[in-house]
C-alpha cells in the first residue's frame, strides 16, 4: 500500500524551487546590466606605482572636498590617545599628557574635558590620511589610539605652515 502525504508535503520542494528560480529570472537581467556597467567604467588603481585613472567622479569629489574645506576651515583631525572617566581621571589624563610629551616632544598635545571624559588628543591634521599616517607611527606605544574628527588649533596650524615654508 502506497503512503499518501499531505498536499503541502508533496509539493513544498518543487514550489520552493520554482519560487527561487523565478526570482532569479526576474533579477538576473538587472544583475547583468550592473556587471556590464562596472566592466565599462575605468578602474581606479590605488597603487602609487601605477597612478590613478582620472575621471569626472574624481573631479566631483575634489570639488566637494574644496567646498567643505571652505565652509569648515577649522575642521580637521586629531589622534585620541587617552580617554577616561571616573574619580581619578583628571590625574590620569595629566600623566598621559606628560608621558606623551616625553615620547613625542615634537607633537602638540591637547587635554580636554567632554563630560564625563577627560581626553588627550594629539596632532593638528587637515586630512584623515595625514592623521592615519601619524597614528601608524605611534601605534606601538599607543595601541588603542584612533583618529577623531576635531577642530584644528588654527594659530598653531598656521605656525607649522610658516615653519615648513621657511625650510
Q: CA–CA separation, 144 vs 105, rounded Å? A: 20
Residue 63 covered by a domain: no
Q: Residue 84 is part of which domain span?
A: 74-166
Residue 16 covered by a domain: no
For residue 46, the model assigns a pLDDT of 41
Q: CA–CA separation, 83 vs 120, rounded Å? A: 7
Residue 148 covered by a domain: yes
Residue 160 covered by a domain: yes
Q: What is the pLDDT of residues 94-153, one digit of tens each?
A: 999 999 999 999 999 999 999 999 999 999 888 899 999 999 999 999 999 999 999 888
Q: How many domains does the chain have?
A: 1
Residue 32 covered by a domain: no
Spatial contact of 62 and 54, defined as CB atoms under 8 Å apart: no
Residue 65 covered by a domain: no
Spatial contact of 96 and 81, defined as CB atoms under 8 Å apart: yes
* Residue 114 cell numbers, joined: 567632554
Residue 128 covered by a domain: yes
pTM above 0.85, yes or no: no
Beta strands in the chain (DSSP E): 75-84, 109-114, 117-125, 146-151
Residue 26 covered by a domain: no
Q: What is the pLDDT of residues 35-60, one digit of tens each?
A: 343 333 344 434 443 556 667 887 78
Q: What is the pLDDT of residues 67-91, one digit of tens each?
A: 776 776 688 899 999 999 999 999 9
CATH at residue 92: 3.30.70.1070
Amino acid at each position: 500500500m502506497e503512503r499518501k502525504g499531505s498536499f503541502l508535503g508533496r509539493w513544498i520542494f518543487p514550489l520552493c524551487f520554482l519560487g527561487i528560480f523565478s526570482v532569479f529570472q526576474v533579477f538576473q537581467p538587472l544583475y547583468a546590466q550592473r556587471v556590464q556597467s562596472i566592466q565599462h567604467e575605468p578602474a581606479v588603481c590605488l597603487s602609487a606605482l601605477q597612478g590613478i585613472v582620472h575621471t569626472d567622479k574624481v573631479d566631483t569629489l575634489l570639488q566637494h572636498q574644496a567646498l567643505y574645506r571652505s565652509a569648515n576651515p577649522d575642521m580637521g583631525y586629531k589622534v585620541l590617545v587617552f580617554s577616561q572617566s571616573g574619580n581619578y581621571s583628571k590625574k590620569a589624563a595629566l600623566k598621559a599628557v606628560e608621558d606623551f610629551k616625553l615620547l613625542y616632544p615634537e607633537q602638540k598635545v591637547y587635554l580636554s574635558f567632554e563630560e564625563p571624559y577627560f581626553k588627550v588628543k594629539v596632532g593638528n591634521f587637515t586630512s584623515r590620511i595625514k592623521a592615519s599616517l601619524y597614528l601608524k607611527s605611534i601605534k606601538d606605544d599607543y595601541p588603542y589610539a584612533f583618529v577623531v574628527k576635531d577642530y584644528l588649533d588654527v594659530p598653531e596650524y598656521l605656525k607649522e605652515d610658516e615653519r615648513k615654508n621657511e625650510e
